[in-house]
Amino acid sequence: MKTIWMMGLFGALLLAGSAQADRDPEALARTWCANCHGADGNSVSPLFPRIAGQQAAYLGQQLKLFREQSRSDQAAHDYMWGVAGGLSDAEIAGVAGYFAAQTPKPNYAAGDAARPAVGKEIFLRGKGDSVPACFACHGPRAEGTEQAPRLAGQHAAYLLKQLHVFSTSQRPAAVSMQAIVHGLNEEELNSLAAYLQGL
């Protein structure tokens, strides 16, 4: 935990130290952001989301929420509050645009090939009256929109962690997801995450 806290503090100091003028967004992305997300946004660790090809407007919105400390889940606190706290609006827009322009790489995982079948059904058709089809907000191939993130190719473990966060009040900007998550059981959540990783 101390290492994580030090990372956040170092990030805040690094970014705040040159806050007098906007910095080159690509340089920020390739130096600081790359530590967790990879220089091209295709992170290899499921601790950190893959942000290559993510919608620029969505990324920008999330960076502002981190900067405002509105996202209060533990990972947001540990990794992103300090980093985003020193970013200007122009730098946020530039970093978001840089990662949006990167090419997402396939993220296939070995495992039970039948497992994502239930997840595919939920993504395309929803479940009963309480869970709408995911594609209605996230796009037919989970490519995302300005309001909803790209989910295709995301680490299943990261998706599952965020789905559990949605069941709390730690992501207030995603109120609509709270009711949806409560309509799915653990096996369905796992299957949905596995399906999305394979897209």
Reading the chain (199 residues) residue by residue, the pLDDT tens digits are: 444 444 444 454 445 444 457 899 999 999 999 999 999 999 999 999 999 999 999 999 999 999 999 988 898 899 999 999 999 999 999 999 999 999 999 998 755 556 789 999 999 999 999 899 999 999 999 999 988 999 999 999 999 999 999 888 888 777 889 889 999 999 999 999 999 999 9
Q: Give the domain 2-100 fold.
A: Cytochrome Bc1 Complex; Chain D, domain 2 (1.10.760)
Residue the block writes with tokens 């789905």: 163
The one-letter amino acid at 95: V
SS3 call for 131: strand
Enter the CATH code of domain 116-197. Answer: 1.10.760.10
Output the pTM of the full model: 0.85
Q: Do domains 2-100 and 116-197 have the same CATH topology?
A: yes
Distances (CA, A) of 179 to 3, 111, 129, 184: 35, 29, 11, 9
> Distance between CA atoms of 99 and 104, rounded to whole angstroms?
10
Question: How does DSSP classify residue 128?
Answer: T
Where are the domains positioned within the chain? 2-100, 116-197
